[in-house]
Amino acid sequence: MSFARDAILRDEGKLYLGRPQSRSHEDMATYLLTCDSAMMPTVVDALHLSLTYGSRYPQPPYGAQPLFAHAVKVVLREHRIAYDFIEGKMIEKESQELHHEVVVPILRRVSGRSWWEPVESAHQDALGELGRGDTLRVLTSR
């Protein structure tokens, strides 16, 4: 969980998620239970990243990633949350039809390809800048 916590701290530019004196596992567990619903996609992405890259062992526990992905998909579907979990990413669904006809096939084709990583990184950076209100910077820095 500390890998997931560190990923969120980096993304959000924070020093801690909840209380400054808490240990990393406690901080992450508390945040997971109390964070604003708008932050939940970030939390899920970070937890998936920790299963993929954050293990102390050469590989994460066998089957952990598919089980996690399945559990996330079930919760999203059962609660009719306008997100899907595809290729390890929380994807907001603006239109179910558009999402299934266009977004899902594209993400499956481009994920994991080296040329896509800089595009995805620039896109995520731009979204972060927009979220912080840096609209002019988004338009001029690309």
Confidence label for 64 from pLDDT (cuts 50, 70 and 90): confident
The structure's pTM equals 0.56
d(CA 61, CA 9): 24
User: Of 34, 28, 63, which Cα lies nearest the Cα of 46?
Assistant: 28
* 106-129 mean pLDDT: 76
Hey, how many other C-beta atoms are within 10 angstroms of the C-beta on 19? 11
d(CA 83, CA 87): 13
* 90-113 mean pLDDT: 74
Phi-psi region of 130 (alpha: psi -120 to 50; beta: other; left: phi over 0): alpha
Q: Where are the domains of the chain?
A: 2-93
pLDDT of amino acid 69: 85
